Structure 1
Amino acid sequence: MFAFLPLATIAHQGDLTLVYERSGFLDTGSYAEAVWFCRRLSDLAPKRAKLISFGTSPEGRDMVALVVSKDGEFEPEQLSKSSRPLVYIENGIHSGEIEGKDATLILLRDILVGKKHEALLDAANLLVVPVFGLDAHERSSKYNRINQNGPREQGWRASGQNLNLNRDFIKADGGEMRAMIGLMHRFRPDFCFDNHTTDGANYPYQLHLGIPHWHTLDAGVAAWAAEMERAVTAQLEVDKLPNAPYFEFVGGSGAPEKGFAVDDFGPRYSTGYWAAMNRPSMLVETHMLKPYKERVDATYVTMVRTIEYVGAHAKELKAANAAADAAEASAAPGFKVTLTSHRTDAKRPFVFRGYEYKPYKSEVSGSMIPGWSDKPVEVKTTLLDTFEPGLTIAAPDAYAVPAPWVEAIDRLRLHGFKFSVLKTAMTDEFDAYRLDEVKFPTEPFESRFMPTYKAVAIRERRTLPPGTAIVPAAQVGLKLLMQMLEPAAPDSLAAWGFFNVVFERKEYFEDYAMEPIAAKMLASDSALKKEFEERLRDPAFAKNPRARLGFFYDRSPWADDHLNKYPVVRLDAKQLQVALGG
């Protein structure tokens, strides 16, 4: 069981105390304090810690990370060859949920100066980002987190661009995210933490942990993660930190008797993105109603216990990661990639630890408001946490992203993919997609209008212009590549609206020009006539003269053959060879 030192005991460490500690564990410091603290640690332990800058936030702040290594190995190339796994710790992507920052800074001090957990450097090398959402962190207020019990002031959820950075990993619209992805692909950590505070009901659990071992993660890595979850969660119970999976009430009911369900997360989220990189991770969600100090302590202990496990099973972890990367790098055409998982209906028994539920009638809303007493209760219920493969697609030999789609090509470059540039135009029959049944929302989500559609595989003749990006499938990151470029993937670039303009008509017909052409088509094509007559059974269509003429326009040579066509195509081996100039 962990015991934490009182402030008087740590005062001997000179000026290395935090606002958090000096305030009696009620406040958190500024971003400037976090940077200063990391710089001070690197000055005090220059052979084991190095502060690096990896970008600038949209509001002009320096983005920093602290690299920690027992052997003074701070460069990505050195760390990749180390026998110790590289553990990445990310705090404050939602900067109102900031206990991870204070917990991590104290842990770093204990490792580098206090010697309390110096042995963790035998277990792993560390890459620590003290605050990811740094501009949001400085939008500090007493009124940013209505559901949360401390600190007395905290940062905001969204960035200076009003983006939720934990929905931005694939599309990378935020300046902070672009810098972070660069850091990720330079260092390629072996294991990743994302520290948060949860919302929800009131119960005794100090922690919810989200540890991906879905089918979207490499099977070997997923098996390692599942074993880690069992061991670490059991150890946390020994440490008197009650914890549970990162679950939700079934149907949003709020009734534990109806059971709980665990979700998987796509690559817009941190853990889903790392799964697409074939890396295990842990989402740490402390309970928002617990005092701030308890949440900091819980995060601290969780990181210590997990890093201990990572070190004890370093060989297996690095081997699983390496095997996953090698499988992608040598992927043959037809290599199956699972892009989504679906939760099954399989239930397992689960004992929910909660408090007596005592809702009350609101005089304001007229509804029943959730409430709880201090009386602990246990409810025998069920948990849905079994998944099966969802969308699974065979990889092509390569993808071709035509030159005009510069925003998509920019994201491929940002996410670290290797590609060649087509030197001369190339015309051939390609595997491609048509996007049918297109619908748009009435409001944006994270700055983008996300269409829904049905991706229909087609084969048609197209010309790829010079400057087209030719992206081989056989490379590390294949799963992430397909998450981005397969339009049926829920977080693909197409789903995020990078190609929305293909749904826009640019030419139109006049009725007087189309009428004689339509009449001729109707008279000369019996199959077309039959199809038209079937459409006339729809009263709305039958009463719409423009739609009736449009039926023929869309089937005429004047129709835009690019409309609703996904610009990215899939190449076979022969086409890839031609594209590469072979």
Structure 2
Amino acid sequence: MLSLLTALLMTATTPAPAPEWRTPFEASTGNTTATYAECLAYYQKLAAAYPAQLSLREAGPTDCGQPIHEVVLTANPAASPARRPVVFIQNGIHPGEPEGIDASMMLARDLLQDKKLRPLLEGLTIVLVPVYNVDGMLNRNATTRANQNGPAEYGFRGNARHLDLNRDYVKQDSRNARTFAALFQKWRPEVFVETHTSNGADYQYTMTLIPTQHNKLAPALGGYLQQELLPALYQGMEKKKWPMTPYVNPIGETPETGIVAFPDLGRYSTGYAALFNSIGFMPETHMLKAYPPRVRSTYDFLLTVLETVRRQAPQLLAARSAADQQLQQQSAFPLGWQLDESQVETFQFKGYEAGYKPSEVSGLPRLYYDRSKPFTRPVKYFNTYRPVMALKPPLAYLIPQAWGEVIENLQRNGVKLRRLDKGLTGPAETYYIEDFKTSPRPFEGHYLHSAIQLETRSQKQETAPAGDYLAVLGEQGPARRYLVEALEPQSPDSFFAWGFFDSILQQKEHFSDYVFEDLAAEVLRQQPVLRQQLEEKQKADPAFAKDAEAQLNWVYRRSPYYESGHNRYPVLRWQGAVE
């Protein structure tokens, strides 16, 4: 009887490789994924054998000290990326989900050796990151993916700093993310694919898919994604005998309750790609399926993406160009998104009946799926998001030179900054942080802020000293939207939300009650209106009226003695001339 791996390889659309070109996965019984050393050695072997079509180089560092590598596949490596669509495939962000690592090794070889696939090399520029989280891949084990059916050993989700890199695309705490940003900005791909394995419910599908949320793309690109690209990918996978479903993100405990499109914020790969008018995909194989079909379905998905993008190249390039033009003309930018539950689609979902039985651990009811009872039935799909708010950007942002980490992040992500060679004076808007909520526990090394409330103050004459940085909106090109979402505090993945400006939230100077009593009395004598406001608050708020310290602090915060920098967001919304 044929093994599952052998049967899958025999049904592949490409010829079986010669023994010397088999990957560690293909040479095994099907439950083995390549080690980091094996993966790198395989690409080095391909680069040596096919130097005209494949280049391999170190792209930059990771937190563990080992480099990230960049593989470029094309029939003409010297061609400009702008002349053909660029498809950027990244693997191993979570090395315990290694299907993409093994599938891409096979795919790179087949693109070079199978003449039927040569049109893909001629019509596309294919960029591969064989392993993104090198740190986690070197941390090989057999236990941390408790919910997953193979392979026998695999890497770890976190990197050397215990960061989940799929939450690091905007804040870029890791060296891995900084290397990625340089690569992404170098290529600015039309399509970005990052391979994953799912967690969650049980169902019949081997492959699920998270695309960039179409509402977050420019209309030209979002429309193309929904009307042309996604239907072709689903049809292509159906022809390859891998029916797909949208990523199973249920409203309730099981898929029958309805499925919600994944809310891909900028911290995730697909959300980050959208900031630059790139279409992102996260193919997520089902963790309970055996490893060989998970690898093969990933291979076929990547191949289907390449085939479809090449076939639809004119439409894709036209949509991307139109999206870039729309971005430059955009006068208001959404900050935050919420699901529109009034917009519902329905599709036929292939699942398993769910039930409950007593737990052998607790004795309480536990969920289970009965694979002897498959079903196909209509399931609601919620795939529309609406902006929570929209904001008109300023002419420019002015970033004080003191905030070096913010400046470096902006530059790394393609933002064009002018450094002032002399002081600049003019009108600007200043934000003051009125209120916010902070997560009680750290998330990826940060205490995230949310529900941010601002007071905006218009200043006729603000002065920025020489050495500060000006980011002019009209000069940003593809980074225009990224700049707005990074610097507007109310954006859910802004630098403020991630805590980059937390030092402004701490008061640095204080007062001694017995000393400030006399100063406060003098302030009230000189400002009768302030005295009247204090008395009105005393009448309206009995608790305040009984709290001497609160009243003294109230006067202090409205006096000249209170520090002007407390809660003052340091980035100015510049409204003056920019020469």
| TM-score range for the pair, normalised by the shorter chain length | over 0.9
Structure 1 distance, partners of 2:391, 2:282, is 28
Of 333, 351, 354, the residue aligned with 1:337 is 333
CA 1:465–1:118: 2 relative to 1, 3 Å: same
Pick closer, same or farther for the CA change 1:100–1:532 going to 2, 3 Å. farther
Does structure 2 retain, via aligned residues, the 8 Å contact 1:25–1:292? yes
* 1:433 CA displacement: 1.2
Deviates more, 1:356-365 or 1:557-566: 356-365
Deviations 1:60-116 (A, max 9, x none): 21211110011233xxxx33242x211000111111111011111101111112445
CA distance in 1, matches of 2:87, 2:457: 43
Amino acid in structure 2 at the alignment position of 1:394? K
Match for residue 232 of structure 1?
233
**Aligned residue identity for 1:388:** R
Taking the aligned partners of 2:30 and 2:116, their CA distance within structure 1 comes to: 20
Q: Is residue 403–residue 465 contact of structure 1 (8 Å, CA) maintained in 2?
A: no
Q: Deviations over 1:148-167 (max 9, x none)?
A: 11111111111101111111
Q: Share of identical aligned residues, percent?
A: 33
Structure 2 residue aligned with 1:368: 365
Q: Per-residue deviation at 1:168?
A: 0.6
Contact 2:185 2:414 in 1 (8 A): yes
Give the aligned partner of residue 52 of structure 1.
57
2:58 partner SS: strand
Q: How far is 1:349 from its partner?
A: 2.7
- Matched-pair contact (CA < 8 Å) for 2:249–2:255: no
Output one character per residue of 1:388-425: Cα deviation in whole Å (capped at 9) or x when no partner: 23332222221110111111111111112111101222
Q: Structure 1 439/538 Cα, relative in aligned 2: closer, same or farther at 3 Å?
A: farther
Quote how far apart the aligned CAs of 1:570 are: 1.5
Contact 1:68 1:125 in 2 (8 A): yes
Secondary structure in 1 matching 2:60: strand
Change (3 A) 1:530 1:72: closer
- Match for 2:567: what amino acid? N
Find the aligned partners of 1:540 and 1:94 in 2 and give their Cα distance. 53
* Cα separation, 2, equivalents of 1:116 and 1:340: 45
Give secondary structure in 1 for the equivalent of 2:20. coil
Alignment of 1:126-275 (within 5 A): 126-226=126-226, 227-250=228-251, 253-275=252-274
Counterpart secondary structure, 2:570: strand
The question of whether the paired residues in 2 share the 8 Å contact of 1:422 and 1:465 is answered with: yes
Q: 1:463: Cα distance to partner?
A: 2.8
TM-score by length of 1: 0.92
Among candidates 541, 554, 559, match of residue 556 of structure 1:
559
Name the residue aligned to 2:26.
21
- Residue type of the alignment partner of 2:29: G
Q: Following TM superposition, by how much is the alpha carbon of 1:121 offset from its aligned partner in structure 2, in angstroms?
A: 1.7
CA contact (8 A) 1:194 1:270 kept: yes
2:72 matched residue in structure 1: 67
Cα pair 1:400 1:571 within 8 Å, conserved: yes
Instruction: Give the aligned partner of residue 354 of structure 1.
Output: 351
Change (3 A) 1:442 1:119: same
Contact 1:403 1:466 in 2 (8 A): no
Flag the 1:538–1:287 CA change in 2: closer, same or farther, 3 A: farther
TM-score by length of 2: 0.92
Against the structure 1 CA distance between its residues 526 and 162, is the aligned structure 2 distance closer, same or farther, given a 3 Å change threshold?
same
Number of residues of Structure 1 aligned to a counterpart in Structure 2:
565
Aligned equivalent of 1:580: none
Secondary structure at 1:38 match in 2 = helix
CA distance in 2, matches of 1:274, 1:31: 26
Return 5+ residue gaps in structure 2 as ranges.
Answer: 1-6
**8 Å contact from structure 2 (residues 397, 471) kept in 1:** yes
Q: Distance in 2 between matches of 1:326 and 1:349?
A: 33
Which residue of structure 2 aligns with residue 277 of structure 1?
276
Q: Which amino acid aligns with 2:391?
A: I
- 1:385 corresponds in structure 2 to 383
- SS of the equivalent of 1:183 reads helix
Contact 2:201 2:248 in 1 (8 A): no
- Structure 1 runs of 4+ aligned residues shifted over 6 Å read 7-11
CA contact (8 A) 2:431 2:454 kept: yes
Match status 1:502 vs 2:507: no
| 1:487 and 2:486 aligned | no
- RMSD (CA atoms): 2.3
Distance 2:407 2:39 in 1: 35
What one-letter code is carried by the residue in structure 2 that aligns with 1:62? P
Q: Secondary structure at the match of 1:352?
A: strand
1:486 deviates by 1.0
Which residue identity lines up with residue 340 of structure 2 in the other structure?
T
Deviations 1:232-272 (A, max 9, x none): 1123223221211124111xx21444322113311111000
Confirm or deny: 8 A CA contact 2:178 2:412 kept in the other structure. Answer: yes
1:354 is paired with a residue whose SS is strand
1:249 is paired with a residue whose SS is coil
C-alpha distance in structure 1 between counterparts of 2:456 and 2:80, whole Å: 43
Displacement of 1:522 in angstroms is: 4.5
Where structure 1 has 5 or more consecutive residues not aligned to the other structure, the ranges are: 578-582
| AA partner of residue 218 (structure 1) | A
Deviation at 1:440, TM superposition (A): 3.0
Shift in alpha-carbon separation, 1:516–1:302, aligned structure 2, 3 A: same
Q: Distance in 2 between matches of 1:415 and 1:232?
A: 29
Checking the alignment, whether the CA contact within 8 Å between 2:193 and 2:282 is kept in structure 1 is yes
- CA gap of 1:532–1:79, structure 2 versus 1, over 3 A, is farther
Amino acid corresponding to residue 338 of structure 1 in structure 2: P
Higher mean C-alpha deviation, range 474-483 or range 120-129: 120-129
- In the other structure, the counterpart of 2:3 is none
